[in-house]
Amino acid sequence: MDLSFTDAERGFRDEVRTFLKEKLPARLSDKVRRGHRLAKEDYEEWHAILHARGWLAGNWPKEFGGCGWTAVERHIFEEETTNACAPRIVPFGIMMLGPVLQQFGSKAQQDHFLPRILNGKDWWCQGYSEPGAGSDLASLKTAAVRDGDHYVVNGQKTWTTLGQHADWIFCLVRTDPKAKPQEGISFLLIDMKSPGVTIRPIELLDGEAEVNEVFFDDVRVPAENLVGEENKGWTYAKYLLTHERTNIAGVGFARAGLAALKRIAEQERANGKKLIENPLFAARIAAVEIDLMAMATTNLRVLAAAKAGEAPGVESSMLKIKGTQIRQEINDLARRAVGPYAMPFVSEALDAGSNVESVGPDYAAPLTMQYLNNRKLSIYGGSNEIQRTIIAKTLLQT
């Protein structure tokens, strides 16, 4: 298995770097670098820049308006944009719903929704988790009852990331309450402006309403918004989650976080010496760096297999587990590195241009927020405990 990059792939990396140098607004990269909050308009601005270059949907085939990139090219693009401190691509339309519609959606759904995802007319959110159905997603209760040419939806979704900005939500709903749990679920597209849809923000410790509760009270949804077949939604959900779990590995994010951690450790001092020179702290940095190098190599092996035409399977669960553990360890070490400066937390200090002064150095301000927020990494996309069960069932069944 050849894990080295070809001349064409190295040329593509240079092309991406040139594009980022010329087109990435310094205002946006500065926000990302400083850990400041990004507004919806910031994400939309970056999406529009990428769309104008034809680089927004690297995971889509060209026939649907995507780049048609190989798995290796997507890896290079994600690595370089992370290194340049570009805003992330909001994943719900591009990374999650898009591939599902391309694989299972009707021609009418593809023709209507896919261009609107690319040009930014529709902002999507995900309606999977419920108060009693998180990792055990098959136990969801939100019901959709067929009534003529519509479904009538009642229920609740929670932890709906960026749902306050969304125009549409793709939902898992129960359409056959008598069937086995996984067999009675359908995949439905719901307009967030429909009568009966209520959004209630959940304010997090950083003062931001990143996640939301979404309530459905007799919401009428056209039957044409059903994706694929009724009661086959579990199949489509598993397909979507495979894409989500692979992205959660976050090799690029981990590398950027490790580089920032090393810079902090070079500036912080303990007992008159740089923290990077403290044997115990340096050993912890070395340990997480070794883990990251091993995970990056594993990721390249998966990419090489994908380039050879093999579909990723249990590897996505492995990368999800290890990737989230590494990122959380980096967050923890960065928070420890600044000591007492990680304790005070002023929410407004994370807003660009705020006149609220942070306690301690500028780089310390976002560390507590990042640490607390990224505790979720090992939960969403299917908790790490669930991923271990998937791995055990897949590899131990013979």
DSSP symbols for 312-373: P-THHHHHHHHHHHHHHHHHHHHHHHTGGGGS---GGGGSTT--PPPSS-GGGTTHHHHHHH
Torsion angle, CA of 336/340/345/348, rounded to 10 degrees?
-100
User: What is residue 340's predicted lDDT score, i.e. its pLDDT?
Assistant: 85
Backbone angles phi, psi at 379, to 5 degrees: -110, -55
**Which secondary-structure segment (H or E) carries 37?**
none
In a domain, 22, yes or no: yes
**Which secondary-structure segment (H or E) carries 40?**
helix 40-53
Inform me whether the pLDDT recorded for 165 exceeds 70. yes
- CA nearest 268: which of 344, 341, 357? 341
Say if CB 61 and CB 68 are below 8 A apart.
yes
Distances (CA, A) of 227 to 48, 101, 104, 346, 373: 27, 7, 7, 44, 32
Indicate whether 218 and 266 sit together in one domain: no
- Region 46-70: mean pLDDT is 94
Indicate whether 223 and 265 sit together in one domain: no
Q: Map tokens 């140098």 to a residue.
A: 21
Question: Is the pLDDT higher at 349 or at 284?
Answer: 284
In a domain, 2, yes or no: no
Say if CB 394 and CB 314 are below 8 A apart.
yes
In a domain, 107, yes or no: no
In a domain, 25, yes or no: yes
Q: Token pair for residue 147?
A: 């009534």
Most confident of 89-98, 197-206, 262-271: 89-98
User: What is residue 366's predicted lDDT score, i.e. its pLDDT?
Assistant: 82
Indicate whether 280 and 213 sit together in one domain: no
Told to judge if 244 belongs to the known catalytic residues of this protein, a careful annotator would answer yes
Q: Of 38, 65, 89, at which residue does a domain stop?
A: 89
Helix axes 40-53, 7-23, angle to 10 degrees: 130
- What residues contact residue 350 under an 8 Å CB cut-off, 6+ apart? 35, 36, 37, 206, 207, 208, 365, 366, 369
Inform me whether the pLDDT recorded for 268 exceeds 90. no
In a domain, 118, yes or no: no
Indicate whether 278 and 372 sit together in one domain: yes
Taking the alpha carbons of 393, 394, 395, 396 in that order, is the dihedral positive or negative?
Answer: positive
| pLDDT band at 332; cut points 50, 70, 90 | very high
Inform me whether the pLDDT recorded for 304 exceeds 80. no
Inform me whether the pLDDT recorded for 309 exceeds 60. no
Q: Of 230, 261, 280, at which residue does a domain stop?
A: 230
Q: How many CB atoms lie within 10 A of CB 59?
A: 20
Question: Is the pLDDT higher at 112 or at 377?
Answer: 112
Indicate whether 388 and 256 sit together in one domain: yes
Inform me whether the pLDDT recorded for 249 exceeds 50. yes
Give the C-alpha separation, 35 to 368, whole Å: 11
Indicate whether 268 and 390 sit together in one domain: yes
Indicate whether 253 and 392 sit together in one domain: yes
Backbone angles phi, psi at 371, to 5 degrees: -60, -50
Indicate whether 275 and 205 sit together in one domain: no
Q: How many CB atoms lie within 10 A of CB 62?
A: 11
In a domain, 176, yes or no: yes
Q: Token pair for residue 220?
A: 């009428």
Q: Token pair for residue 129?
A: 């988790």
Inform me whether the pLDDT recorded for 311 exceeds 60. no
- Catalytic residue, chosen from 73, 80, 130, 244, is 244
Question: Is the pLDDT higher at 291 or at 208?
Answer: 291
Q: Map tokens 């996640």 to a residue.
A: 211
> Which CATH number goes with the domain that contains 174?
2.40.110.10
Domain with 339 in it: 249-396
Write out the DSSP string of 47-100.
Answer: HHHHHHHT-S-TTS-GGGTS----HHHHHHHHHHHHHTTPPPPPHIIIIIIHHH
Indicate whether 154 and 192 sit together in one domain: yes
User: What is residue 316's predicted lDDT score, i.e. its pLDDT?
Assistant: 78
> Which CATH number goes with the domain that contains 360?
1.20.140.10
Inform me whether the pLDDT recorded for 397 exceeds 50. yes
Inform me whether the pLDDT recorded for 182 exceeds 50. yes
User: What is residue 170's predicted lDDT score, i.e. its pLDDT?
Assistant: 98
- Region 183-198: mean pLDDT is 97
User: What is residue 348's predicted lDDT score, i.e. its pLDDT?
Assistant: 63
| Number of compact structural domains in the chain | 3
User: What is residue 246's predicted lDDT score, i.e. its pLDDT?
Assistant: 53
Backbone angles phi, psi at 230, to 5 degrees: -65, 140
Residues of the chain with pLDDT > 70, as a percent, come to 90
User: What is residue 264's predicted lDDT score, i.e. its pLDDT?
Assistant: 93
- Region 141-170: mean pLDDT is 96
| pLDDT band at 1; cut points 50, 70, 90 | very low
In a domain, 33, yes or no: yes
- Region 94-118: mean pLDDT is 96
Indicate whether 390 and 253 sit together in one domain: yes
Q: Of 171, 203, 230, at which residue does a domain stop?
A: 230
User: What is residue 191's predicted lDDT score, i.e. its pLDDT?
Assistant: 98
Say if CB 36 and CB 350 are below 8 A apart.
yes
Q: Token pair for residue 374?
A: 């990224």
Is pTM beyond 0.95 here?
no
For the ranges 20-34, 131-145, 196-210, 307-321, which has the lowest average pLDDT? 307-321
Indicate whether 220 and 307 sit together in one domain: no
Give the C-alpha separation, 2 to 203, whole Å: 47
Q: Any bridge partners for residue 151, and if so which?
A: 146, 221
In a domain, 29, yes or no: yes
Indicate whether 388 and 325 sit together in one domain: yes
